[in-house]
Amino acid sequence: MLNIMTGSFNGSGIDEFKKMQMWDCPEEKKETILSECKYQVIGTDMFAAAFPALERAELDMNFLEALLELFPECDAVYFHNSGKLYLRCRNYRNNICMVLSQKHEVDYPSSRKD
């Protein structure tokens, strides 16, 4: 089950340790996003933990792409659990796939086949 929630965003609530995990985002952009962002859309993949890692990753990537399509004004994607912040760009999928490949010790393809 995929779930979407909306709400206000307060970047000052992100601690320094999590900010240190945002090395993929340029420092000046990171500070601008965290200080100026007012809203958030939270997407969760409830009950997907039982999926095989690659199947869950593909589900999550497709879900993220759908959310970005619904919210074209979105400037960045923040992953709460890992503390990663990615600017909205064409290579976010490649970056995330690289992390998934390392985490699960598999070769996760960075582009969809469709």
What is the greatest pairwise CA distance in the chain? Answer: 40
Tens of pLDDT along 47-97?
888 888 888 888 888 888 888 888 888 888 888 878 888 887 655 666 666
Check residues 110 and 48 and name the one with the higher pLDDT.
Answer: 48
- Taking the model in full, what pTM does it have? 0.68
- For the cut 80, the answer to whether the pLDDT of residue 2 exceeds it is no
What is the residue extent of each domain of the chain? 2-104
Helix (H) or strand (E) holding 85: strand 84-87
pLDDT at 35: 92
